[in-house]
Structure 1
Amino acid sequence: MTVTFAAAAEGFVRDLDEDFRRIEKLVGRAREAGADLLALPEAALGGYLSSLDGDHDDSPPQLDGDGPEIRRLIDLAGDLVVTAGYCERGDDASGGLPYNSCVAVTGDGVLGRHRKVHQPLSEHYSYAAGDRFAAFDTPIGRMGMMICYDKAFPEAARALAVDGARVVVCMSAWPSSRTNAAPVLADDRWTRRFDLFDRARALENQIVWVSANQAGEFGSMRLVASAKIVDPGGEVLATTGTEAGLAVASIDVDDAVDSARRFMGHLRDRRQGSYAPVPA
């Protein structure tokens, strides 16, 4: 089955009504492009942290996982699969801290959820960490999700691939370098790392990789955009570059994954018994 993916590079803010106006436009553009899945960035509902130094003076609005904002996203999704990040209200297990979360929905309801596991710099002061990676079934096939820094850890994408995900959506609010920033965003070392992780995770697991990211500036951060779709061979099928926009590409997921794995099957050829457990 050929699936058309749309990955968004867009900025989002604290004003939820404004965020939904932007989402509605992106949903409309994705539909016009014939998309089956639209990936929105990390923190698309309410914006990300304004700084990773731990000294930001505002916080994203905390939303309930089944609250009115998620229902509003479901209503907008209709026949699309839509993924989006948000700040999920904390619970007793989190000590009251919220989670940096994402959700996959269609008009029929919630398909899957993920809480960001890996936390960069001072993010742990603002969010509690998730503790798992799990794939789930959707109208476009079995898929998994992760958030931003999660993709820097090969084990995260591998866990989803082993759980049967043939598509992984990674939602980010990935900024440019805070030190020695490049005048041209495309030349920034953190832009290059963002792109490298996307291609490596797709190739090593032989999966379709869909990467959405925030764009523009927010607080002290300049976001690198660079939304893209990557095939199981690590080739970029479409990208927004470092500008806001929508990357759109179509691919027969099963054919592409099966073809990539036919001779050099990275999951099949693992020698699991040779890998010593990694101490915590």
Structure 2
Amino acid sequence: MTTLAAVSANFTRDLNQNYALIETLVDEARERGVDFLALPEAAIGGYLSSLGNHGDTVKTTGRSLPPAISVDGPELRRVQSIVGDIIVAIGFCELAEDGETRYNAAALLDGGQIYGTYRKVHQPLGEHMSYSAGSAYPVFATPVGRIGLQICYDKAFPEAARMMALDGAEIIASLSAWPAARTATAENLQDDRWTYRFNQFDIARALDNQVFWVAANQSGTFGSLQYVGNSKVVDPGGNILATTLLGSGMAVAEVDIAAKFAEMRGGMFHLRDRRPDVYGKVAELDEAGTATWRGLTHA
């Protein structure tokens, strides 16, 4: 059996606060026998303070941007010193080798090694003003299974999870700083339309690809953003095994990965029964190298 967990918590610019919170969460995870723990997007240094055309811009903002850290820097080593033998997915702002380019990134690690890193591919609203975009969806072999990583808005794109499933991912960790709607926000955030989308994407991507889906999200507020929590573990049948709902906390589920895969993939064959021969436009580019799209036009 394998125990999977997803965290809902609030992370800020205060790195010492982040490390203390990670330590508290890891202690809880260890007490609950967790083998794989997903922490949210931007768990080291916090996320952007706003999104949209008024978002944070590296060159012009007066706001504090997330600290950019190197993969081989002291920040991730500090996290490794905390987590020990628990495998952890954690989000951070990566500083590239050129010392200038920044990525919204995630690392998969334990106390002994970094299994791999991921750079967010899909960028919502004004996020491109602060980060460059990644260009790949790697899957990493770990002691708990093959794990893929994605970040927040990535979950809205079926192709992202599908690529990892085709590469043998058994678990996909989706790390988010997913806020409530900016306008017409519901009085009860659990009923907010962005909360609804967040939860539906998690269920659909697990079921689409018949994988275990571990979704971690920030909670509370930061800048102008109010996060919706709802961290969860979803099984390959799209069943939510555990969830934090709006609050901070840890969703924990004990699963039998091999048995559930045999059950789900032995009855319905979502990956085997694909028809790539009719999916041409999914990966079609125009002459400028831009994805083709027949949008609606109005006279």
Contact kept in structure 2, 1:208 and 1:257, CA below 8 Å: no
1:163 aligned partner, one-letter code: D
State the alpha-carbon separation in 2 of the partners of residues 96 and 270 from structure 1.
41
Partner of 1:224: 228
The 8 Å contact of residues 202 and 215 in structure 2, kept in 1 or not, is answered as: yes
Q: How does 1:193-212 map to 2 (within 5 A)?
A: 193-212=197-216
- Counterpart in the other structure of 1:17: 16
Question: 1:170 is matched with which residue: 169, 174, 178?
Answer: 174
| Matched-pair contact (CA < 8 Å) for 1:50–1:221 | yes
| Deviation of 1:97 (Å) | 3.1
2:117 pairs with 1:113: yes
Letter in 2 for 1:210: V
Alignment partner, residue 68 of structure 1: 74
Q: Which amino acid aligns with 2:103?
A: Y
Query: Match for 1:131 among 122, 131, 135?
Result: 135
Partner of 2:88: 82
Cα offset, 1:210, TM superposition = 0.1
Counterpart residue identity of residue 55, structure 2: G
Q: Distance in 2 between matches of 1:71 and 1:109?
A: 9
The percentage of counterpart residues that share the same residue type is 52
Alignment correspondent of 1:250: 254
Q: Distance in 2 between matches of 1:182 and 1:271?
A: 40
Structure 2 unaligned runs (5+)? 286-290, 292-299
Q: Partner letter of residue 110 of structure 1?
A: I
Offset at residue 273 of structure 1 (A):
1.6
One-letter code of the match for 1:249? A
Verify: 1:262 aligned to 2:266, yes or no: yes
**1:91 Cα deviation (Å)?**
4.3
Deviations 1:139-191 (A, max 9, x none): 10111000000111000000000000010000000000001100111010000
Alignment TM-score, normalising by the size of structure 1: 0.97
For the 8 Å contact 1:4–1:251, the answer to whether it is kept is: yes
Q: Quote the Cα distance in structure 2 between the aligned partners of 1:11 and 1:243.
A: 10
Q: Structure 2 length as normaliser, TM-score? A: 0.91
* Structure 1 residue 90, shift from structure 2 partner: 3.4
5+ long unaligned stretches in structure 1: none
How far the C-alpha of 1:278 sits from its partner, in A, is 2.8
Distance, in Å, in 2 between the alignment partners of 1:190 and 1:254 is: 33
- Cα distance in 2 for partners of 1:214, 1:165 equals 24
Aligned equivalents of 1:259 and 1:211: distance in 2? 22
* Runs of 4+ deviating beyond 4 Å: none
Determine helix, strand or coil for the equivalent of 1:103: strand
Residues 23 and 83, structure 2, Cα contact 8 Å, conserved in 1: no
Given that 2:41 and 2:92 are in contact with CA atoms closer than 8 Å, whether structure 1 keeps it comes out as: yes
Aligned partners of 1:221 and 1:128: how far apart in 2?
21
One-letter amino acid matched to 1:58: S
2:155 to 151, 156, 178: 151
Which residue is 1:272 aligned to?
A: 276
Structure-2 residue corresponding to 1:54: 55
Aligned equivalent of 1:27: 26
